[in-house]
Amino acid sequence: MAKADQAVVSAKLLLEAGDVDGACNRAYYAMFDAARAALLTSRSNVQPEIARTHNGLITAFSLNLVKTKRVPIELGKALNRAEELRLIADYKGDSVEPEDAARSVLEAQEFVRSMRSLFMQETPR
């Protein structure tokens, strides 16, 4: 979760600096790291190596936490949106719209906060 927390901070700073592509990248990784932590602490029957790839983690998160209603479907959709924006920002050569980046950063904050609330008994940094 510490990596997720740091990625949210970075996403906010990048967004404020006008780097929407960088903000989308960090927002996605905040969610990716929080999703991995949630899976690993949720006592779901998921092998740790499945959470090492993006597709494997997102699929395991959906099957084990969203479809079982342990995580609201909107948070699962937010993770998928964040991945789509990151792929655009990092690989497609197109810039992400500032409004989409801002939404992604807000969703990342909520996602990380929710994963902590649902699966960890620690306080945020």
pLDDT of 46 reads 76
Q: How many Cβ atoms are within 10 Å of 72's Cβ, its own excluded?
A: 13
**Which domains are present in the chain?**
2-119 (1.20.120.330)
Residue 18 clears pLDDT 50, i.e. is over it: yes
pLDDT of 51 reads 66
For residues 47-54, average pLDDT: 74
Give the pair of three-digit tokens for residue 26: 């960090």
| Higher-pLDDT residue of 74, 56 | 74
- Alpha carbon distances (Å) from 115 to 13, 61, 64, 93: 22, 11, 14, 31
Max CA distance (Å), the chain: 41
Q: Are 51 and 40 in contact (CB under 8 A)?
A: yes
pLDDT of 94 reads 78
Give the pair of three-digit tokens for residue 87: 């792929």
Torsion, CA 1, CA 16, CA 61, CA 41, rounded to 10: 10
pLDDT of 85 reads 95
Give residue-wise pLDDT tens across range 57-98.
Answer: 999 999 999 999 999 999 999 999 999 999 999 898 778 999
pLDDT of 125 reads 46
